[in-house]
Structure formats: C-alpha cells, structure tokens
Amino acid sequence: MTHVVAEPCFNCKYTDCVTVCPVECFYEGEAMLFIHPDECIDCEACVPECPPLAIFHQDNLPEQWADYTALNAEMAPNCPVITERHDPMGPPIHK
C-alpha cells in the first residue's frame, strides 16, 4: 500500500513532508508533489507534516480524489525527487 498526494496540494506545494520521508519517495511536479507508489513504505511520517492535509493512505483517499492514485503513479517517475523543504507556492487549500 502507499500514500497519495491529493488535490489540496495543487498550487500550494508545501514541502514540509519531504524532509521527514525516510525513503525519499516524494517527487516535485510543476504545481504539486507526488509520492512514488513503489517507493513509499507506508510509514505515515509525512501525513502530520502536511499543512493543507493533502496526503492520504490510498485506502482512505476521499472518493472525489480517487484519480490521484493513478496520477501520483504516473507523474512521480517523470519528476525530480525532492528531499529538502522549499517555500510553498501559496496558502494551503483546505477542502
């Protein structure tokens, strides 16, 4: 199983989560972060570090964001890995 970055990260891109990831499974896209499903070890360290509450275990992903499981799997291998905190793009979007 894996964790998924969902829609609240879009155009927000807080990176606090990447600094606690023990396996460096976060990847940085243009407008949001992605978790590589084959690299995530399901440790949940990233979940409490996400200010916009955008990270979910795939089994608990809200139905309206179900497509984000496939999006993370598709986009992570095509983006650079991110391991250091950067300034966010904007304020967190809570849904």
pLDDT of the chain along its 95 residues, tens only? 799 999 999 998 889 999 999 999 999 999 999 999 999 999 999 999 999 999 999 999 999 999 999 999 999 999 999 999 988 876 655 54
- Output the pLDDT for position 92: 55
- Output the pLDDT for position 88: 83
- Output the pLDDT for position 79: 98
Q: What's at 19, amino acid-wise?
A: T
Residue 79: C-alpha distances to residues 44, 51, 56, 95 (Å): 22, 22, 20, 26
Full set of structural domains in the chain with CATH:
3-78 (3.30.70.20)
In whole angstroms, give the CA distance from residue 34 to residue 13. Answer: 10
- Output the pLDDT for position 95: 43
